[in-house]
Amino acid sequence: MDTLTNRLVWEYLKDDKIEDLYNQSDYNECLWIAKYERSLNEMFGVIKSVATMTYSIYITENMTLEDAANVILPMHGNFHPILFGMYEGKNIDEFIWKQIYPQFEQKYSSESLES
């Protein structure tokens, strides 16, 4: 297995292969993986919920792309790609996964289980 990091957990989870990572890991590593899996799933769910709610409030079926852009672009945050993806009828999961990619890499260590 590659060196166990939070980014590796992200990759396996994004590719829907997290069980493979668990199967390659010992008990303590599995605990560490579960910690990051929960965190990433929570972030994913919050972003998807907020984007869906924002879209349903501000974007209507009859809006042109220009009208939608006039609503979306002034919004703060990193929701632009997600909201435009929703407007275009795309699966927004890839956009969300890109946003929750861990900015800093953290390697597994048994000490990190305590935090």
Q: Where are the domains of the chain?
A: 6-103
pLDDT of the residue at 22: 97
pLDDT digits (tens, 9 = 90+) for 55-64: 999 999 899 9
pLDDT at residue 1 tops 70: no
Radius of gyration of the chain (CA): 18
Q: Measured at the alpha carbon of residue 10, what is the angle toward residues 45 and 76, in degrees to the nearest 5?
A: 50
Return the residue matching tokens 């579960």.
34
Cα–Cα distance, 29 to 5 (Å, whole number): 10
Percent of the chain with pLDDT over 70: 95
Q: Does the model's pTM come out above 0.95?
A: no
| Residue 20: how many other CB atoms lie within 10 Å | 12
